[in-house]
Amino acid sequence: MYCKTTLDNGVRIVTEKVDSRVVSVGIWVEVGSRDEHDLNSGSAHFVEHMFFKGTARLSAQQLARELDVLGGMSNAFTANETTCFYATVLDDRVGRLVELFADIFLNSLFAPDEVEREREVILQEISMVEDTPDDQIHELFNRQLWGRHPLGNTVLGPREVVGALSAQHLIDYVRRFYRPERVLIVAAGNVEHDSFCEMWRKELAGFSAAKSAPPPRTVPEPVAPQRLIYPKPLEQVHMVLGTYGLPIAAEERYTLFLLNILLGGNMSSRLFQEIREKRGLAYSVYSYLNSHRDCGVLAVYLGIDPSVTTEAMALVQRELQRFAHKRVAAEELAEAKDYARAGVYLAAESMETQMTRLARNELYFHREVPMDEVVAGIEQVTAAQLQTLATALFSRPLAVAAIGPLQQDAIDWSVLNN
């Protein structure tokens, strides 16, 4: 059963009672990398790390031990628009989990010595991405697609900025952005809504907003597509080709979801079959969506031998134009819907996924979105709608980022002309 309460200070609490012995709890804050600028890029992610590095009551080691003793799983992540702290525990440990989460959320110390230690950890995390080209290429592509807008920055931030952030910088960032109206607490599993709310009402009694409100988010403007090679001595070329997609709550979101599945979202997708199965040009090839509140991305990733770069790009372009110029066959569309429907219901078996679904629905739709409504939306998509959306999305020249043993003049870019 779905329930929602807004506390007097503006914090929202959403729960869904599910027949289970576990409960997944998440604190979601509407702050992420797009709330930063060039001089504080990486702050949201740094703050996320510091929330586990000691409070007035518990040291970092004691916090880790307490969370481990709960016997479940706890973690956190920072994204473009949100930061999330979450854990899944047995239902009889929820009260203790709430106490621990409230403590780190309200009473983290940001001790200078802990900031210095964690800075080195984050710098190693940045190095790990730089040493993993199939991760780094997505960051390079985003920078090209979004230009100087904060969405073009990395979540981790650049080395020189992370190296300069002080404990006071991070404390000020929390005071400005961690406001009650930006906080959403979600639980899925064997949880009683009223008692769960009372736990948080008690813990958050002194939580109020700072006087200085954060600046509003700016909507990104499209930039001219760039096609750039980042030479690096690798065995493969790692490439992303893509264009602007749709906002996460767009009316055509189900059409876009199916378009992505058909393009490169599973093993029977057109790109997987054409590039990997039929021609053996890539081990890894897939398409993906990255949707935000007011914009989005649709992109294709390829890991290929340098000698077949132009051929692989031409095949991607051909498949995109096929969607735009020819309707998808009824059988192919029906199979994609079956795949999508199964994914929706199978994901519901994970309590953590249930919790995440509740959070995203509240953050972006401000209401419960039942799974049956999602499935109905998928079922109603027509081949004509797919073609119309593909025509709109793929009429724009593709942006391209590639990292590997290539030079700019080694590719015949004309294969991407519409």
Contact call for residues 275 and 285 (beta carbons, < 8 A): yes
Please tell me which residue in 16, 48, 274, 362 is annotated as part of the active site. Answer: 48
Asked if 125 is an active-site residue, the reply is no
Q: How far apart are CA 189 and CA 194, in angstroms?
A: 14
**Closest of 397, 389, 392, 396 to residue 416, by C-alpha:** 397
DSSP codes of every residue in 187-251: EEES--HHHHHHHHHHHTTT----SSPPPPPPPPPP----EEEEE---SSEEEEEEEE---TT-T
Distance CA 402, CA 227 (A): 8
Burial 288-299 (b: 16+ CB within 10 A, else e): bbbbbbbbbbbb
| Residue 310 to residue 323: CA distance in whole angstroms | 21
Please answer whether residues 248 and 49 qualify as being in contact, where contact means their C-beta atoms are separated by less than 8 angstroms.
no
Looking at the DSSP bridge assignments, the partners of residue 115 are none
Positions annotated as catalytic residues are: 48
